[in-house]
Amino acid sequence: MKEIDYTKEKIDAAIQTLGPAKIDSPIPGIDIGGEYTNFASDSDRILFYQRERYFRHCLEKRIDPVTLELAGPRKKIYFDPKKLRCAIVTCGGLCPGINDVIRSIVLALYHTYGVRHIYGIRYGLQGLIPKYGHEMLELNPSVVANIHEMGGTFLASSRGPQDIEEIVDALERLNIGLFFLIGGDGTLHAAASITDEVARRGEKISIIGIPKTIDNDIFLVSRSFGFDTAVEMAAQAIRSAHTEATGAPNGVGLVKLMGRHSGFIAASAALALKEVNFVLVPEIDLDIEGEHGLLSILRKRLIDRKHAVIVAAEGAGQKYVMDKEVKRDPSGNIKLGDIGKYLRDQIKNYFNRIKMPVNIRYIDPSYIIRSVPANVNDRIFCGFLGQMAVHAGMAGKTGMLVSLWNNRYVHVPLKSAIARRKEIDPNGRLWLSVLESTGQPSLKNPVQTSAEICLQGKKRTLKTTRRSASKRK
């Protein structure tokens, strides 16, 4: 994927609202010179793109640069806290920090705004559908007091789409005014559809998303919660692989990490340790065989240094392991082939063929990484996300998610965030730093022209003819 040209990007940054906010916020303002420093305004904006060439482009085209709405408490709010009923749901796979976000939302609703009717929806969006029979949980500070010490999600989760009309029917029956959805790409798509259905019915229900993806691959979100913890845990697995690799002659430590479409965890964990020799990510194509392929380069590495560490994101090299017939999981995601086991077997077979002994240690820590409690950095981050989500919802914002962008918390329309996926830029600083750290080459064989292929064919035919003639003699 080439670097995104933001001068050509059309970003819709407008945030929907349910109506005018007319109720005084219960948050005390600090009056300094006539300005309330506690509050943000809808006119407070954060620049979307900060490079000079973007400003030059805007000047040349006589257009305003794109800006995002600053998150934070508003002086006026839309909902009456005493009458408001809120619900929280967590969807998709596990991720460090989900419980921290839940806890932050509950504490902000209860203590900051005085909301007393807060409900947890069990087992994802299934919990809103009557046929599944899941009970809701009533949430308050006592219930969520210690959930941040546990991994996973206190509310439990599920995968797979649910009928949008049934979801909105349930929200209407429960008289929910503010609905928080914590989830990844599929959940945010569902949240956008729920927002549309609510608007079609003329209901006043605020839909607020909190982006959850351990892969850090949501567009317009510079960092997702749980990513910091995931990189820390991944680095521990890599350290173990390096120890194993250096502890045996021609040792190869192979680690498979999360990253279906984006290799941010693999790249970041490799940079954290500087002990990785090959990083394989979905965004960068590679060859396994051939003079410049992984196996040949690995052989040279072992001859020179006697050990090697390979880190592969789960979505890397799928052209070798993906089924010809595309299969999908309950969430609609394409089922990936297992690149980790494939590489392990290919390395073993290759070195057996060339009669060079190797010692392979394969580590897949994926389920351990995603189910641990968040580290301190992620806990702080989750706290801010939960607070900002509550401030946005209480002000009557809807159809949006809370994001960290250019080191500030902002509001991003759901439809803009789901318009594309965030990926590693092959020409960007992150990947160039990975190449500098590992020293790995491109792992791609040169593309041959048709003339070169034809010439090689003629040479092989000539050699075969000469061998046959020699045998006849």
**What does the pLDDT look like over 44-92, one tens digit per residue?**
998 887 666 777 777 777 777 888 999 999 999 999 999 999 999 999 9
Any idea which of 19-33, 172-186, 210-224, 362-376 has the lowest mean pLDDT?
A: 19-33
266 neighbors 227 (Cβ within 8 angstroms): no
**What domains can be seen in the chain, in order of their start residue?**
16-224+372-417 (3.40.50.450), 227-371+426-438 (3.40.50.460)
Q: In 3D, which of 166, 266, 255, 279 has the Cα closest to residue 214?
A: 266
Q: Which two tokens stand for residue 60?
A: 């040349």
- Mean pLDDT along residues 303-319: 97
> Looking at 185, 215, 364, 378, which residue is catalytic?
215
Max mean pLDDT range (117-126, 214-223, 328-337): 117-126
Per-residue pLDDT, 59: 76
pLDDT band at 2 (very low <50, low <70, confident <90, very high): very low
Is 70 exceeded by the pLDDT of residue 451?
A: no
> What pLDDT sits at residue 328?
74
For residue 334, what pLDDT band results from cuts at 50, 70 and 90? confident
Which residues have C-beta within 8 Å of that of residue 469, sequence separation ≥ 6?
none
Helix axes 264-273, 227-246, angle to 10 degrees: 60
Q: What is the mean pLDDT of residues 433-460?
A: 76
**Which pLDDT does position 447 carry in this prediction?**
80
Q: Is 215 a catalytic residue?
A: yes
Phi, then psi, of 440 in degrees rounded to 5: -75, 145
pLDDT at 216: 94
| CA 380-385-387 angle, 5° bins | 95
Summarize the confidence of residues 127-153 as an average pLDDT: 96
C-alpha 188/C-alpha 250 separation (Å) is 46
Report, as an integer, the average pLDDT of 369-380.
Answer: 96
Counting residues of the chain whose pLDDT is more than 90, the rounded percentage is 81
pLDDT at residue 28 in the model:
84
